[in-house]
Structure 1
Amino acid sequence: MPGQPAQMPPQFSQANGVYCRYCGATPAIDLDFRAHRGMIVLMQFRKLPGPFCRECGLASFRQMTGDSLVQGWWGPFSALLANPFTLLSNLINRARLAQLPPPIPGAPSLPMDPGRPLWQRPVIIGAFIPILVIAFIAFGSSNSGSSANRNNYHYLDAPTSTYHVVPNVPVIPSIPALPTTPATRDAKAAKVGDCVWDKNGDISKDDHPKLEVVPCGDSRAQATVLGKPTGPIADTQCDSQYPATDVIITHKTSIGGGPEIEDFALCLQTK
């Protein structure tokens, strides 16, 4: 009616002024999800920074936590301290994320697909690894104790455990975050909505592109970043989550001279 102020749609009252790093939706919350990989005597720490909307955060939590459940137990320090701390930190941030309402429609990009819950994925088997190890140790100790009681023997020189923590385990430090306003930004610093160009030539034909982030109004801009999934199968998510993708560029990292492992992919739409 004339003279009455216009009312905002109800969902806009949920906006909190924080926007998701990956899809641009609001409301969002600024927190990180982490993953840990144990490699016997070496370790790798990974971090996926926020802010996250509820959908992107849930997808990131399931991906990073699932990786840790499978890869995080392989080493004494990893199993006893680093991986439990990583999983606990993710669970705490997952509880904070659950307090967010759904993203408001109209974001620049579609939120990530959270996929199936962790308990419906094969990686959930990794959650039982520490339980089985503890049960095995307890069972062995119980058998040793009952045998000693029956024969009244005391094995003073017998070792109390077959597990030894190796001192001075070398640790690979986590990679520090890039500055927020670097002079030149490469593929690692590219975000959803950024535009990139290949210094080597045609981005759609170059097998080893050298990317640089440029303003989308720049004449050099060749493609727009639609998504930046992470993990060893990140490239497969481009086709399923970003149908407009026509160029996929993957980034791989080698740890300690080992094989290269894919850590993220850029889902691009050429101009």
Structure 2
Amino acid sequence: MTTAPEPGSSSGDTEPFEPHYEPPDWYRNPVEPAASVVGHSMGFASVTYERPGCSVCGAQQVAAVSVKRHVGMVFWWRTRTADGPFCRPCGITLVREMTTRSLWQGWWGLFSLLINLLILAENLDAYRQLVRLPPSRPAVGKSALRPGKPVLRRPLAYVALIPAVWAVVLITNIALHS
């Protein structure tokens, strides 16, 4: 192999300079990982990842649930969903908050009565999954959400009685006048 000529020097050597590069051993012969790691192109070493924790606080004891909130408007509606693995306190907090908002805002549309009932049933199922989880600690540097008051101890949950009373009055009037 020839060496590179010094800049500004003129040598009588007519052989052209060709740089030579040999990649290191770890590049030519990568170590096979014990299990394939998604997104890891070279496989330098066996990398083990912990399973995903709570999407809020990083705790490891989690349940994969969807918590929904429904807002009924006269001619349309809006539904919001919080998907993810949640630990017990974070998941219960979300269920309580979103269920209370659904009880308060979910009845005020043409089809919202049925949609809201389905969403409340789904939230009840998510709640049952979350209360079965053992207590867990949040990841270092993070804190879990505080569940706060249960749904039936929140005043906004009782706004749901307004459409229920309205439905009873409507059905009673229809039954009496027919």
Same fold (TM over 0.5): yes
Q: Give deviations 1:174-197, integer Å, cap 9, x for gaps.
A: xxxxxxxxxxxxxxxxxxxxxxxx
User: What does 1:43-54 correspond to in 2, within 5 Å?
Assistant: 43-54=77-88
Measure how far apart 1:114 and its partner are.
0.7
CA distance in 1, matches of 2:54, 2:162: 34
Q: Which residue of 2 aligns with 1:24?
A: 58
**Larger relative contact order (CA 8 Å, sep ≥ 6):** 2
Give 1:95 deviation, angstroms: 0.7
Structure 2, unpaired ranges of 5+? 1-49
* TM-superposed deviation, 1:39: 1.5
Q: Which string of whole-angstrom CA distances, capped at 9 and with x for unpartnered residues, describes residues 221-263 of structure 1?
A: xxxxxxxxxxxxxxxxxxxxxxxxxxxxxxxxxxxxxxxxxxx
Gaps of 5+ in 1: 1-15, 146-271
Structure 1 residue 102 corresponds to structure 2 residue 170: no
TM-score (norm 2): 0.66
1:85 matched to which residue of 2?
Answer: 118
Which amino acid letter does the alignment assign opposite residue 168 of structure 2? A
Q: Distance in 2 between matches of 1:27 and 1:108?
A: 17
**1:36 touches 1:68 (CA, 8 Å); kept in 2?**
yes
SS at match of 2:63: coil
Greater than 6 Å deviation, 4+ residue runs: none
Letter paired with 2:165? L
* CA shift for structure 1 position 102: 1.0
Residue 57 (structure 1) aligned to one of 72, 86, 91? 91
Matches within 5 A, 1:76-225: 76-79=110-113, 81-104=114-137, 107-145=140-178
Report if the CA contact (8 A) 1:25-1:107 is conserved: no
CA distance in 2, matches of 1:17, 1:54: 16
Q: Is the 8 A contact 2:96 2:150 kept in 1?
A: yes
Larger CA Rg, structure 1 vs 2: 2
- 1:108 Cα deviation after fit: 3.8
How far residue 139 of structure 1 moved from its aligned partner, in angstroms, is 2.1
In 2: Cα distance, 1:49 partner to 1:105 partner: 18
Distance in 2 of aligned mates of 1:49 and 1:108: 23
- Choose which of 64, 76, 90 in structure 2 pairs with 1:42: 76
| Higher normalized strand content (fraction of residues) | 1
CA contact (8 A) 1:25 1:108 kept: no
Cα RMSD over matched residues?
Answer: 1.9
Question: Partners in 1 of 2:117 and 2:152 — Cα distance?
Answer: 18
8 Å CA contact retained: 2:67, 2:98: yes
Equivalenced residue count is 129
* Contact 2:65-2:126 at 8 Å conserved across structures: yes
Percent identical across equivalent pairs? 35
Report the alpha carbon displacement of residue 103 of structure 1 after superposing the two structures with TM: 1.3
The residue number in structure 2 matching 1:72 is: 106
Residues 141-198 of structure 1, C-alpha deviation per residue, up to 9 Å, x if partnerless?
34325xxxxxxxxxxxxxxxxxxxxxxxxxxxxxxxxxxxxxxxxxxxxxxxxxxxxx
